[in-house]
Amino acid sequence: MEALSLLIYHNDPRTAQALGASLSQHFGPVNLVKHYEEVRSAITRHGANVLVLDLETSRTDALRNLHREFPSLCIVATHRLADEDLWTEAMNEGATDVCEPRNEEVVRSVLRERAHGMAAAA
């Protein structure tokens, strides 16, 4: 099973740390990106497979641009107040899922995407 390279960009450092700690229990090392401007270079530098992206500080056009530039990247978008409209918009822009920035929800989204990726490769 291929190891995943995960990145987290979240505006709140405590949330980013908590998500990183939780994800690292399931997937190994997780890299945190402190500034949105560093996301692209971090994806390339770390060969990221998964990006957890804070939609509260990133617009959906940023999501669309990342998806275009890195089409195989799994982007799990987070938002504390995600509703059906935001979910639909984010999914249309290239997110693989949208959830609240809670450890168990993000882990579940990444696990689900990994299962889909493994099934597609089989």
Q: Residue 81 sits in a domain of what CATH number? A: 3.40.50.2300
Residue 1 falls within a domain, yes or no? no
What's the pTM value of the predicted model, to 2 decimals?
Answer: 0.91
Owning domain of residue 88? 6-121
Domain membership of residue 78 (yes or no) is: yes
Number of structural domains in the chain: 1
Residue 51 near residue 73 (C-beta atoms within 8 A):
yes
Q: What is the pLDDT of residues 19-68, one digit of tens each?
A: 999 999 988 789 999 999 999 999 999 999 999 999 988 878 899 999 99
Give the long-range contacts of residues 29-36, CB within 8 A, separation 24 or more.
29/5, 30/6, 31/5, 31/6, 31/7, 32/7, 32/8, 33/7, 33/8, 33/9, 36/9, 36/62
Residue 24 lies in a domain: yes
Residue 103 within a domain: yes
Nearest C-alpha neighbor of 83 from the set 61, 103, 98: 98
